[in-house]
Structure 1
Amino acid sequence: MTLHLARLPIDLPALARAAGERGWTRGSRATFDEGRALHHLLGETFGPGVLQPFRLIVAPRARTGTLWAYTEANAATLLETAKMVALSEAAEAALPLSRLATKTLPDVAAPGRRLGFDIRLRPVVRLASDIETPADRNKGRRHGFKAGAEIDAFLATALRNPDRNAMGDTDRSRETVYAAWLADRLAGAAEIEDIRLASFRRRLAARGDGRGVEGPDAILHGTLTVREPDAFRDRLRRGVGRHKAFGFGMLLLRPPGRPVPRS
């Protein structure tokens, strides 16, 4: 499998107009979700999942961003497919295909290879059992979250460890919880050497029925070591974690950091 890294500038106002044309912002808690809009437009233009996983990077207050994505198709193949597709004026403005570029990635998945990474995640877990919140207990209600609910991994840890002071411990900080969440999903493919939480916010994400679903939006930077080449290639191609179709889970590779001293 040959993997390509694709780059495409995105016009954000045009993307919002294209989302409005298709009714992707309707609903009682509707929100303009760039990830959802790109998921649909990229699928309509190049085929479902062809540019996936992807990551939209936007500078503060900018009206344009840059889409990065992994794909098995090169630019010529992608553009050939796009020629057959009828797009609205807003969609064409949002995706200026004349500026699409790809480059072939070298095979970096050698055992012991150290790589820097930058990844945007929605670190959520599905509950195997009900969790009661302190507020529910105080008000005599039965449950805070039922089994099967998808919630923030840090919130799940906090609710299972209700002592507030305990969550201030280094072993249970948000950064540590998210680092462990990522390490679990890279297990067998790569080992994390060092990691930091570069940014975090809670954000509404619009999904198929138009509702806004709140959840964590975290960016982690760090260095990893490849352990199993085939498994690592699979993580690169498929992405990491849930919501990969909406702009999460793409392992952007960077130069590795300095080795961490071993005590």
Structure 2
Amino acid sequence: MTLYLARLPVDLPALARAAGERGWTRGRRAAFDEGRALHHLLAETFGPGALQPFRLVVAPRAKSGTLWAYTDVDATALREIAAPVPLSEAMVTALSPDRIETKPMPELAVPGRRLGFDIRLRPVVRLASAIPAPADRAAGRDHGFKAGAEVDAFLAEALRQPDREAMHTAERSRETVYAAWLADRFGPAAELEQVTLAAFRRSFAARKDGRGCEGPDATLHGTLTVGDAKAFAERLHRGVGRHKAYGYGMLLIRPPGRPVPKG
């Protein structure tokens, strides 16, 4: 099966209007989540899961962006799917389905092949056991987490340390924790040679009825070496980590960096 890389221009003000039409900016937090809006609008326009995983790339202060996605369907077929679908003016302006473009991806799942990558992630973990609030917190403010909670991987590790200096002593920065988190998600699919935390912020992920949670929103750049070909192809096609249906986990390929000297 051929894997295609799709490109689609996105008008951000129109995307916000389309989300407003559907009531996705109302709720407890009244938050506009671009990932949630794109998840639903892409499914309504091209079919559920047709463009997943995806990544919205927007320059600072820009009013438009580019959506990249992996798909099993070429541009001609995608335009034919979208053509008879009744879309509001805001939805058509937001996604411009007639302007979608695709190109077939070369074979990348070759053991030993070095690839550069750019990936946006939500590096979170599900707690197997509760983390109590630190003893030095102000009385009456509960900063603990219950078992099963979804927590920033860096925060979860830091809160389990015996003191505030432990992470520094162990040289466990946010970058190193997220790199290890990513390596665990790749498993045998690839070996990470070098990873850089290119961007980080906390963002609110809105879901049904405006509910959701705030969490880490990280962009990692680096170089990897393909290991198990089948497993790597699966990561490329399906994405990495959680929240893949909402704009996270898409592995964008870049030229590899210079090899890291050994010894």
- Normalised by the size of structure 1, how large is the TM-score? 0.96
Partner of residue 108, structure 1: 108
List gaps (5 residues or longer) in structure 1: none
CA distance in 1 between counterparts of 2:202 and 2:108 reads 33
Q: Percent identity?
A: 73
Partner of residue 185, structure 2: 185
RMSD: 1.5
Partner of residue 75, structure 2: 75
Q: How does 1:71-220 map to 2 (within 5 A)?
A: 71-134=71-134, 139=139, 144-169=144-169, 171-220=171-220
Give the drift of 1:129: 0.3
In the TM superposition, what whole-angstrom CA distance separates every residue of 1:18-71 from its partner, at most 9, and x where no partner exists?
000000011121211110000000000111111000000000000000000000
CA distance in 2 between counterparts of 1:10 and 1:162 reads 47
Q: What one-letter code is carried by the residue in structure 2 that aligns with 1:94?
A: A
Partner of residue 33, structure 1: 33
CA distance in 1 between counterparts of 2:121 and 2:135 reads 28
Q: How many residue pairs are counted as aligned between the two chains?
A: 263
Give the drift of 1:135: 5.3
SS in 2 for 1:44: helix
Q: How does 1:58-69 map to 2 (within 5 A)?
A: 58-69=58-69
Contact 1:114–1:256, Cα closer than 8 Å, also in 2: yes
Contact 1:118–1:251, Cα closer than 8 Å, also in 2: yes
CA distance in 1 between counterparts of 2:180 and 2:115 reads 18
List gaps (5 residues or longer) in structure 2: none
Partner of residue 54, structure 1: 54
Partner of residue 223, structure 1: 223
In the TM superposition, what whole-angstrom CA distance separates every residue of 1:112-140 from its partner, at most 9, and x where no partner exists?
00000000000000000010121587637
Q: What one-letter code is carried by the residue in structure 2 that aligns with 1:145?
A: F
CA distance in 1 between counterparts of 2:55 and 2:262 reads 33
- Normalised by the size of structure 2, how large is the TM-score? 0.96
Q: Please say if 1:254 is aligned against 2:250.
A: no
Structure 1 residues 164, 13: closer, same or farther in 2, change over 3 A?
same
Partner of residue 242, structure 2: 242
Structure 1 residues 90, 134: closer, same or farther in 2, change over 3 A?
same
Partner of residue 24, structure 1: 24
